[in-house]
Amino acid sequence: MSEFSALVPAAGFGARMDNELPKQYLSIDGQPMIGYALNTLCANPRIKTVFVVLAPDDSQFQQYDWSECGDKLQPLYCGGETRAESVANGLLVSELEPDDWVLVHDAARPNLTQAHLDKMISELQDDKVGGILAVPVADTLKRSDSLQRIECTEPRENLWQAQTPQMFRAGLLAQALQQAFQLGKRVTDEASAIEAMGLQPKLVEGDSNNFKVTYPQDIRLAALLLQEGK
Residue pair 5/47 in contact (Cβ under 8 Å)? The answer is yes
| Domain range for 13 | 4-229
Q: For residue range 82-132, list pLDDT tens digits in order.
A: 999 999 999 999 999 999 999 999 999 999 999 999 999 999 999 999 999
First-to-last CA distance in the chain?
Answer: 35
Give the separation between CA 67 and CA 65, rounded to whole angstroms: 6
CA 30 to chain centre: 22
State the pTM of this model. Answer: 0.93
Q: To 10 degrees, the CA torsion angle through 6, 71, 12, 176?
A: -30
Burial class (CB in 10 A: 0-12, 13-18, 19+), 209: middle
Domain count across the chain: 1
Q: What was the pLDDT predicted at 230?
A: 59
Q: What is the CATH number of the domain that holds 95?
A: 3.90.550.10
State which amino acid sits at residue 166: Q
Percent of the chain with pLDDT over 90: 85
